[in-house]
């Protein structure tokens, strides 16, 4: 039987790992050589059978010899490479170091203890440390907020060292919490990738408000307000505001308490417009009532709560917002009724009902009615005469609707101002102003005194000179008729 080549002595200077690689390569070469030899036997047998079984085995021996020769060459090349110091490359394996957040947390806590909680000294020590912040960013912010690690999925302290200089250990005052915001800002400027970890930890805490004491929730609210006030490295508002909309937190009133403290603190240094901008980016501007428990979720409940908390500008803003929403809904409903050519009496009753429910001011009702009447017109793209006829026909059709709500001279004058503005801003109506006014006069919507007052003392400057000149012949006719009377 043929003997296989073996090597029990590693190449000179080879490490145990290199020797093991060599033995593995030799074993592989042995296997390949045996396969080549067996293949040689098969070829030789086939050649012998091809000569009707009369062969003398030369072909078999020749093929087997060729296999052995190739096997030997392979081993010699391998041995030469090893003896010359050439390393045989082996496939590298990804070796993942085990996570050890406890050791990281203990190291950060020790930095706080060594510097007695002085945030400037702590920041310098952290800057010069070689701690793996990219791997333990969440743990780092847990130490900042709570003084140590928290248990997974909760805010309860985990085992390990703790320090007494955390945000939640201090007083719920802006002068106490602001230095922490500035301290975090410095760290984020040096390590901007940590902003995602700050988001993670804040989201975790805000979704678990019920696990904090009342004064701790207030500290979180103050920190959040100061973080936005200081524009803390692009902290996205949706990260903070969206997690608050959990049904169980809202039902307990915890969210309303948190958001109230947040609003009050933020508005100390910032305007209402700044706050509204944050609410818009947080996608909650139109859903402020969602922060209220169901029993208090109403416009009246909103106004009562924030008026009591001294946030009157926010109350006024919300009332205006609610008014605009109701006005838009009413306009849409009335435009549909008019476009469908509903009975005038039906539209009048619908308007009265919506005015009672929404408490629209009379002036807003008049402005809204003119808008919906014109919005329901089917305008032509190019035919100016057709547009003029359509507008005048619409005015005549719905004059009764206007007459019902234009009940005094002040409202009539407001209607004229509204028509003036639209005719000035809409080129297809520019030349129709005098015809519309005369039509409304003929249909008893506008009285003579209102038209003359607008002509002589009107205050709206938009297109006034153009429209005064266009209306002058009609005004002259009114004045002549008055003199004759």
Burial bucket for residue 334 (CB in 10 Å: 0-12, 13-18, 19+): buried
Sorted by where each begins, the domain ranges of the chain are: 16-83, 102-287, 313-359, 361-484
- How many angstroms separate the CA atoms of 377 and 426, rounded? 13
- How many angstroms separate the CA atoms of 226 and 224, rounded? 6
User: What is residue 3's predicted lDDT score, i.e. its pLDDT?
Assistant: 46
pLDDT over 90 percentage in the chain: 65
Report residue 258 as tokens.
């948190």
pLDDT one-digit tens code per residue, 402-451: 999 999 999 999 999 999 999 999 988 889 999 999 999 999 999 999 99
Closest CA to 321 of 302, 344, 347: 302
CB atoms within 10 A of CB 128: 8
Q: Which residues contact 106 (CB under 8 A, 6 or more apart)?
A: 160, 161
| Average of per-residue pLDDT across 178-192 | 94
pLDDT one-digit tens code per residue, 201-258: 999 999 999 999 999 999 999 999 999 999 887 788 988 899 999 999 999 999 999 9
For 347, the enclosing helix (H) or strand (E) is helix 344-358
- How many angstroms separate the CA atoms of 125 and 113, rounded? 11
- How many angstroms separate the CA atoms of 26 and 11, rounded? 13
Report residue 183 as tokens.
């301290």
- How many angstroms separate the CA atoms of 20 and 28, rounded? 12
Query: Cα-flanking dihedrals φ and ψ of residue 5, to 5°?
Result: -75, 135
Percentage helix, strand, coil for the chain under 3-state DSSP, each rounded to 5: 70, 0, 25
DSSP alpha helix (H) spans, 86-153: 101-114, 119-128, 137-146
pLDDT one-digit tens code per residue, 7-62: 444 444 445 445 555 566 556 655 655 555 555 555 555 545 544 444 455 655 66
Query: Cα-flanking dihedrals φ and ψ of residue 236, to 5°?
Result: -75, 130
Closest CA to 439 of 403, 477, 404, 392: 392
| Average of per-residue pLDDT across 264-280 | 95
Report residue 66 as tokens.
């060729």
In contact, 393 and 379? CB cutoff 8 Å? no
Burial bucket for residue 96 (CB in 10 Å: 0-12, 13-18, 19+): exposed
- How many angstroms separate the CA atoms of 429 and 373, rounded? 14
User: What is residue 19's predicted lDDT score, i.e. its pLDDT?
Assistant: 54
The fold of the 361-484 domain, in CATH, is 1.25.40
Query: Cα-flanking dihedrals φ and ψ of residue 374, to 5°?
Result: -75, -35
Burial bucket for residue 145 (CB in 10 Å: 0-12, 13-18, 19+): buried
SS3 272: helix
SS3 165: coil
User: What is residue 27's predicted lDDT score, i.e. its pLDDT?
Assistant: 64
């Amino acid at each position: 039987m043929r003997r296989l080549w073996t090597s029990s002595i590693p190449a000179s200077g080879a490490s145990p790992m290199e020797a093991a690689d060599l033995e593995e390569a030799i074993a592989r070469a042995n296997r390949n050589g045996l396969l080549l030899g067996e293949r040689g036997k098969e070829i030789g047998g086939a050649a012998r059978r091809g000569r009707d079984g009369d062969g003398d085995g030369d072909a078999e021996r020749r093929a087997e010899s060729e296999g052995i020769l190739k096997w030997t060459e392979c081993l010699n090349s391998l041995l030469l490479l090893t003896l010359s110091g050439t390393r045989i490359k082996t496939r590298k394996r990804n070796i993942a170091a085990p996570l050890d957040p406890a050791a990281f947390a203990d190291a950060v806590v020790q930095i706080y203890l060594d510097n007695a909680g002085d945030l400037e000294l702590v920041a310098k020590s952290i800057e010069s440390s070689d701690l793996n912040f990219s791997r333990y960013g969440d743990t780092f912010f847990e130490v900042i907020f709570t003084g140590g690690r928290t248990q997974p999925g909760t805010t309860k302290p985990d085992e390990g060292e703790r320090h007494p200089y955390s945000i939640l250990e201090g007083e719920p005052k802006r002068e106490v919490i602001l230095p922490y915001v500035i301290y975090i800002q410095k760290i984020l400027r040096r390590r901007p990738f940590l902003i995602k970890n700050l988001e993670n930890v804040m989201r975790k805490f805000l979704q678990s408000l019920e696990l904090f004491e009342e004064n701790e929730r207030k500290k979180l609210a103050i920190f959040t307000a100061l973080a936005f006030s200081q524009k803390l490295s692009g902290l996205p508002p949706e990260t903070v505001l969206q997690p608050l909309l959990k049904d169980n937190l809202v039902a307990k009133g915890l969210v309303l308490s948190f958001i109230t403290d947040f609003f009050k603190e933020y508005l100390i240094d910032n305007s209402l417009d700044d706050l509204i901008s944050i609410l818009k980016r947080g996608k909650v501007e139109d859903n402020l009532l969602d922060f209220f428990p169901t029993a208090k979720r109403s416009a009246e409940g909103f106004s009562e709560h924030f008026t009591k908390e001294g946030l009157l500008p926010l109350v006024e803003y919300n009332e205006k917002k609610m008014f605009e929403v109701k006005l838009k809904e009413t306009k849409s409903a009335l435009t549909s009724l008019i476009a469908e050519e509903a009975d005038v009496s039906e539209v009048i009753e619908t308007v009265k009902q919506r005015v009672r429910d929404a408490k629209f001011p009379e002036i807003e009702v008049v402005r809204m009615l003119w808008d919906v009447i014109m919005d329901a017109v089917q305008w032509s793209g190019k035919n100016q005469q057709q547009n003029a006829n359509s507008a005048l026909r619409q005015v005549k059709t719905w004059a009764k609707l206007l007459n019902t709500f234009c009940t005094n001279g002040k409202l009539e004058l407001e209607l004229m101002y509204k028509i003036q503005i639209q005719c000035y801003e809409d080129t297809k109506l520019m030349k129709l102003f005098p015809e519309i006014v005369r039509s409304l006069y003929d249909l008893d919507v506008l009285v003579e005194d209102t038209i003359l007052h607008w002509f002589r003392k009107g205050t709206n400057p938009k297109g006034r000179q153009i429209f005064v000149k266009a209306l002058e012949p009609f005004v002259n006719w009114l004045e002549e008729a008055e003199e004759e009377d």
